[in-house]
Amino acid sequence: MAIDDIYTKGIADGWKVVDASTLKQDQTYEADVAIIGSGAGGGTAAEILSAAGLKVLILEEGPLQTAANFKDMNDARAYGELYQEGAGRATSDGAVAILQGRSVGGTTTVNWTSSFRTPPQTLQYWADTFALKGGGEADMAPWFAQMEERLGISPWAVPPNANNDALKRGADKLGWAAHVIPRNVRGCWNLGYCGLGCPTNAKQSMLVTTIPSALKNGAQLVHHVSVRKLQFSGGKVSGLSAEALGPDGVKRSGVNITVKARHYVLAGGAINNPALLLRSNAPDPHQRIGKRTCIHPVNLSLAMMPEKVEGYYGAPQSVYSDEYQWKHGATGPAGYKIEVAPMQPLLGSVIFGRYGEELKTGMAQLPNMQSMLALLRDGFDEQSPGGSVEIDDSGAPVLHYDFSDYMWDGFRRAYLSMAELQFAAGAKQVMPLHLDSRPYESWEQTRTAIGGLQYRKQRVPVFTAHLMGGCAMGEDEKLTVVDSDARFRHADNLSIIDGSIFPTSIGANPQLSIYGFACKNATKLAGVLKA
């Protein structure tokens, strides 16, 4: 039984899809709205704007890959071809490994399907600190509801896999809060390969929902095209220039692409959006572009369980604990959300981060390994201002990100919580992932060890899969890049619709926050452009 990859038939039916790597000559495209990026924000905007009758053009740097590619369920292929920089992206000093998507559907094509509304504490903080208007809990509720309906988001009704069940068991034992995660799936096979591209189209990523629907509405999708510059003149964007990439998606093919549109929607995600604006010399009187880039820094803890966990099978994330997320409200000591990470061997070995015999014997126990992760909530305290995006000589993005003692304290507490949960769930050994750690036999021993670890860059391996901010929204123009409707302050016909507009991290996995704000802002924009 071959799975319908959706696009083969769509293209045969007349969908306008261009693989720019096949172009032999320079091209000019015209549209009512040009959308740069086809991820959570771009996909949502494309559906809404095209449904309003606008002529939409979607430009995506990555390749068009579908279930027809994902059916091999191969981690090496997926990380190499579907992630930014072949999954090798990192902060400028290499201290934080960055996972971010790069294909049609953006990061939604490879994300793990956890779907949370923006926490009310976060929305309130944005209103108070950045003067965000129309983004309160009640304002946003209908937009979240609309996107939950659109993407089949509901709490996972199937029992969690053993990896997630350990989190549930530990939390129950300790009396900590733990809940079932809502997922954006329809007819999910509970396989666990969401991070490698869903082979069944069950995951309601942009690749299989909003983008096909936009194409049905007559939108055009051009992939293998990297937008290099927006031209700013007279308080407007007058055009954009882009370069086609070759079939390998890395090298430029030499073909140049020019786009003229009435309105431009920037949806390249955090890091890449600010870099594009900086390359374009976008007006930025208060130097806010790229600032406050938040990443939900992640540290991890591995546990050896007496029974098989098989963390590579089954819905990757279905249980979470917010026990330590809002203990002190939005501010105060850094809060964190606790979840688990799927454990296919490639990612597992990178997380494990050892060599020689330690690597061999550790990884040989993969079937019994339980992996816990903590997402630190950055951007809510003066000592956690997020990072900043700059560009190098070639215009490539570089993210600088530093950790203050405030954040190191968060990492330390997160190690403790994770280890405590793992032992409560019955772990034989726990290894907080740190350059100087080893597996420990008891909670007491682990607690002592965690207290004695050095909290410094590199010694604490840090990961991120949630890139947010860099084009903050709100009414305070000294602090923000776009207004409350996501309109760029210094050009009438430019909006930013994706995760880069959040002025802090979310405090929960960000995709539904992006969908909700994208839905609101794109709907408003459609009204304005059709008026």
Partner 1 sequence: MRNLPSSEAGAGPETVDATRRTLLQTGLFGSLLLGAAGATATLSGCTGRTEATAAGYKFLRDADLPFLRALLPGVLGSLLPAAGMERDRLLDDLLHRIDLSGYRLGLPSQKALAQLFDLLNMRLTRRLMAGIGPWEESTPAQVQAFLERWRGSSFAVLNTGYRALIKLVAGSFYGTPAGWAAANYPGPPPGPYQVFNS
Ligand X SMILES: Cc1cc2nc3c(=O)[nH]c(=O)nc-3n(C[C@H](O)[C@H](O)[C@H](O)COP(=O)(O)OP(=O)(O)OC[C@H]3O[C@@H](n4cnc5c(N)ncnc54)[C@H](O)[C@@H]3O)c2cc1C
Shorter beta-carbon distance to ligand X: residue 35 or 416? 35
Least gap, CB of 514 to ligand X (angstroms): 5
Q: Which two tokens stand for residue 475?
A: 């009414």
Interaction between residue 34 and ligand X (CB under 6 A): no
What angle do the packed helices 40-51 and 511-530 form, to 10 degrees?
Answer: 30
What is the dihedral angle through the alpha carbons of 524, 525, 526, 528, rounded to the nearest 10 degrees? 90
Amino acid, res. 153: I
In this chain, which stretch among 37-45, 151-159, 213-221, 432-440 interacts with ligand X, using CB under 6 A?
37-45
Cα dihedral 507, 510, 512, 515 sign: positive
Q: Are 188 and 161 in contact (CB under 8 A)?
A: no
240/419 with CB nearer ligand X: 240
d(CA 99, CA 83): 7
Tokens found for residue 158: 């199937």
Part in contact with partner 1 (CB under 8 A); list of ranges 167-175, 185-193, 333-341, 471-479:
185-193
In order of 40, 202, 446, 511, 512, the CA distances from 113 in angstroms are 12, 10, 32, 8, 10
Does 288 contact ligand X by CB under 6 A?
A: no
Distance separating alpha carbons of residues 484 and 498, to the nearest angstrom? 13
For 420, list phi and psi in degrees, rounded to 5. Answer: -65, -45
Minimum distance from CB of 512 to ligand SF4 (Å)? 16
* β-strand partners of 184: 153
Work out what residue 268 binds among partner 1, ligand X, ligand SF4, none; the CB cut-off runs from 5 to 8 Å by kind.
ligand X
Under the criterion CB under 6 A, does residue 511 sit at the interface with ligand X?
Answer: yes
Q: Is 347 in the site for ligand SF4 (CB under 6 A)?
A: no
Which residue, 65 or 422, has its beta carbon nearer to ligand X?
Answer: 65
Q: Pick from 435, 438, 441, 444: which binds partner 1 (CB under 8 A)?
A: 435
Instruction: Confirm if 111 and 194 have CB atoms less than 8 A apart.
Output: yes
Indicate the residue among 44 and 161 with the shorter CB distance to ligand SF4: 161
The reply to whether 428 sits near partner 1 by the rule CB under 8 A is no
The Cα 243–Cα 252 span in angstroms is 7
CB atoms closer than 10 angstroms to residue 241: 14
Beta carbon of residue 453, minimum distance to ligand X (angstroms, whole number): 26
Q: Which residues contact 148 (CB under 8 A, 6 or more apart)?
A: 115, 154, 182, 512
Per CB under 8 A, 191 contacts partner 1: yes
Would you say 418 and 427 are in contact if contact means Cβ atoms under 8 Å apart?
Answer: no
| Candidate segments 87-95, 177-185, 218-226, 280-288, binder of partner 1 by CB under 8 A | 87-95
Question: Is 261 one of the binding residues for ligand X (CB under 6 A)?
Answer: no
Please state the closest distance from residue 342 (CB atom) to partner 1, in A: 12
Asked if 203 touches ligand SF4 (CB under 6 A), the answer is: yes
**Which residues in 447-486 contact partner 1 (CB under 8 A)?**
456-459, 461
Q: Which segment (17-25, 49-57, 236-244, 397-405) binds partner 1 by CB under 8 A? A: 397-405
Check residue 521 for interaction with ligand X (CB under 6 A): no
Strands (E) in 37-149, as ranges, are 56-60, 96-98
The SS3 of residue 70 is helix
Q: How far apart are CA 197 and CA 233, in angstroms?
A: 40
Using CB under 6 A as the binding rule, whether residue 190 contacts ligand SF4 is answered as yes
Q: Of these partners, partner 1, ligand X, ligand SF4, none, which one is at the site of residue 360 (CB under 5 to 8 Å by kind)?
A: partner 1
Task: Write down the H helix ranges in 398-502.
Answer: 405-424, 443-452
Q: By the criterion CB under 6 A, which residues form the site for ligand X?
A: 36-42, 59-62, 99-103, 106-108, 110-114, 195, 226-227, 267-269, 272, 276, 317, 465-466, 498-499, 509-511, 514
Binding positions for partner 1, rule: CB under 8 A = 1-3, 67, 71-76, 79-80, 84-86, 88-90, 92-95, 97, 189, 191, 193, 199-200, 250, 312-313, 344-346, 348-350, 352-357, 359-360, 363-367, 390-394, 396-398, 400, 435, 456-459, 461
